[in-house]
C-alpha cells in the first residue's frame, strides 16, 4: 500500500511540475509520518524516503533515535519554547517559527551547541483564527528582527492552507505566500534567503507546486489515515 501511495504521489508531483514548467528536482517531498509507528517509517525508508516531517518533539526524538542516521528530520508543527532544546540538534529545518520569543530560544540553544539553526517563518496567509503564524503584513519586519540573530538562518516561508474540497480555492493563498517571499528576497536581508516555500499538503499539493512550492508536506496521501494516540480522539 505504501509503495502504491508513494508512486501515485510521485506521479502527481511530476504532472504538476510539467504543467507549470518546473523541474521535478525543485520540489522536495516531505513524508509526514506523525502518529505512525517506527516500523512504518522503516518501510518507507526501505522504499527510498529520506525526508520525514513530524509535529511533536518527543515523537520526533524517539523516531530519530530508532531510525538510520541518514534521515533528514523536519519539525513541521507548533514548537513550544521549552522543548526547543530536545530537537535543535536533530532537525534539518524548523518550519514553524511564529514568534520572536521562539526565535530567541532557538538562537540561544543553537549558540550553546555552536550550530546554526535553519528555519522557516510560518505565515498565516489565510488569516484563520485557529492557525498559528505571523500575519503576512508583519512578516517583513519579523524577518528583519530574526536577521539579527547570528545562529539562525532564515531559509524561507511556510504556510498551512485551509482544508477545502477543491484545492483551486487555495491557489490565491499559495500565490500570496510566493509573492511575499519574492518581495522579501528583493530586500537582500542579512542571514536571510527565501529559497524555500513550504506549502501544500495531501489535499492541495498539486496546486501548491503550480504556484511555486519547493517543499510539500504529505501525510495521509502517503501513509493513509492518521493513527490515533492512546487516549486521544482528535488526530489533527
Ligand atoms: C499533518 C501535517 C501535514 C500533512 O497533512 P496531510 O493532510 O495528512 O498531508 C502537513 N503539514 C503540517 C504542518 C501538518 O501538521
Q: Is 36 in the pocket of ligand 1 (CB under 6 A)?
A: no
Please state, rounded to an integer, the average pLDDT across all residues of the chain.
Answer: 96
At 68 the pLDDT is: 98
Model confidence at 236: pLDDT above 80: no
Q: Is 29 in the pocket of ligand 1 (CB under 6 A)?
A: no
**pLDDT grade, residue 234 (50/70/90)?**
low
- Report the percent of the chain where pLDDT is more than 90: 94
Query: Which is the closest atom of ligand 1 to the Cα of 96?
Result: 13
Instruction: Kindly report the number of other CB atoms within 10 A of residue 204's CB atom.
Output: 25
Place of cell 510539500: 216
Model confidence at 141: pLDDT above 90: yes
Rounded Cα distance between 67 and 62, Å, is: 9
CA of 187 relative to ligand 1 center, distance in Å = 31
Query: Which is the closest atom of ligand 1 to the Cα of 226?
Result: 8
**pLDDT grade, residue 22 (50/70/90)?**
very high
Q: Which grid cell sits at 205? A: 499539493
DSSP 219: S
Q: Which of 236, 230, 191, 196 is nearest to 212 (CA)?
A: 196
**pLDDT grade, residue 229 (50/70/90)?**
confident
Domains by residue range for the chain, with CATH: 2-19+27-220 (3.20.20.10)
Query: Which is the closest atom of ligand 1 to the Cα of 76?
Result: 13
Query: Which is the closest atom of ligand 1 to the Cα of 202?
Result: 9
At 231 the pLDDT is: 67
> What is the arithmetic mean of pLDDT over 174-193?
97
**pLDDT grade, residue 227 (50/70/90)?**
confident
Q: Is 200 in the pocket of ligand 1 (CB under 6 A)?
A: no
Q: Is 221 in the pocket of ligand 1 (CB under 6 A)?
A: yes
Rounded Cα distance between 164 and 179, Å, is: 22
> What is the arithmetic mean of pLDDT over 11-30?
98
- E strand spans, the chain: 28-32, 51-54, 72-75, 93-97, 117-122, 152-158, 192-198, 215-218
Instruction: Kindly report the number of other CB atoms within 10 A of residue 23's CB atom.
Output: 8
The secondary structure of 180-211 as a DSSP string is HHHHHHTT--TTEEEEEEE---TTTHHHHHHT
Q: Is 217 in the pocket of ligand 1 (CB under 6 A)?
A: yes
- Report the percent of the chain where pLDDT is more than 70: 97
Higher pLDDT, 158 or 226: 158
Amino acid at each position: 500500500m505504501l509503495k502504491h501511495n508513494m508512486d501515485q504521489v510521485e506521479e502527481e508531483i511530476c504532472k504538476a511540475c510539467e504543467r507549470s514548467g518546473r523541474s521535478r528536482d525543485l520540489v522536495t517531498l516531505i513524508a509526514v509520518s506523525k502518529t505512525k509507528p517506527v516500523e512504518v517509517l522503516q518501510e518507507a525508508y526501505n522504499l527510498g524516503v529520506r525526508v520525514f516531517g513530524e509535529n511533536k518533539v518527543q515523537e520526533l526524538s524517539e523516531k530519530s533515535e530508532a531510525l538510520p542516521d541518514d534521515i533528514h528530520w523536519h519539525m513541521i508543527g507548533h514548537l513550544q519554547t521549552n522543548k526547543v532544546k530536545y530537537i535543535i540538534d536533530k532537525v534539518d529545518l524548523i518550519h514553524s517559527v511564529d514568534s520572536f520569543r521562539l526565535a530567541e530560544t532557538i538562537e540561544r540553544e543553537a549558540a550553546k551547541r555552536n550550530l546554526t539553526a535553519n528555519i522557516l517563518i510560518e505565515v498565516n496567509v489565510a488569516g484563520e483564527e485557529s492557525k498559528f503564524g505571523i500575519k503576512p503584513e508583519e512578516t517583513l519586519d519579523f524577518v528583519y528582527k530574526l536577521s539579527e540573530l547570528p545562529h539562525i538562518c532564515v531559509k524561507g516561508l511556510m504556510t498551512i492552507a485551509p482544508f477545502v474540497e477543491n484545492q483551486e480555492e487555495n491557489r490565491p493563498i499559495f500565490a500570496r505566500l510566493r509573492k511575499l517571499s519574492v518581495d522579501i528576497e528583493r530586500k537582500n536581508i542579512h542571514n536571510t534567503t527565501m529559497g524555500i516555500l513550504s506549502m501544500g499538503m495531501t489535499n492541495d499539493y498539486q496546486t501548491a507546486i503550480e504556484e511555486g512550492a519547493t517543499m510539500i508536506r504529505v501525510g495521509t496521501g502517503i501513509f493513509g489515515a492518521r493513527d490515533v494516540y492512546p487516549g486521544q480522539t482528535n488526530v489533527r
